Structure 1
Amino acid sequence: MEALFAPPPGHWGLRGDPLLWDALRRLFDGVALPDDPDALNRALDTGFAELTGTALADAPDSLPVSWAKGTQGGLSNGLVSPPFWREIGFPLIRDRWAALR
């Protein structure tokens, strides 16, 4: 699955999003591509929740998700944007998965 994360998106929602992108890429390093889109969605949702402590489905669009592990050199680095992941990040990964199938 790591191949689905290269290259990274051209823009981000918040400063913590590229750090989470890299953490997800490392989390899925060596993991085989899922056989179906439902398995891919479950893997992405599980990875997001595992790393942030918050399920993306439960995260409101109006508030960033705090990601303590992503804090590097400032509090805002530890904030990720749920709308970015719903509208850009995960759809990009899904499109790449579909192109490889």
Structure 2
Amino acid sequence: MDLLLEESTQASAAFATLPPSVAVWHRATSTGVLHAKLIAADRHTAFLGSANLTDRALTDNIELGVVLRDPAVVGPLVDHFRWRITPENGVMRLA
């Protein structure tokens, strides 16, 4: 499992107790904001939305999300995030 988390938030602390098999990634540079929320179960099913995955965001905010069940849509999303964590690309780094 790979998690791409914003380093400037408490997101890493929230996931600190996950097993070592979970790789946590941060942006390699400090410009911009990692704002995407994508949970991909495989190359066929994913959740794409605007909500931060926090109690407050999921209970108090008005957010939108969609479950995608189409390999033609989900596959390229997974490919994009896999590209981002490929070390040679220099986009993300392991935490």
How does the TM-score come out when normalised to structure 2?
Answer: 0.29
Identify the structure with bigger relative contact order (alpha carbons < 8 Å, sequence gap 6+).
1
Name the structure with the higher helix share: 1
Q: Which has the larger radius of gyration?
A: 2
How does the TM-score come out when normalised to structure 1?
Answer: 0.28
Name the structure with the higher strand share: 2
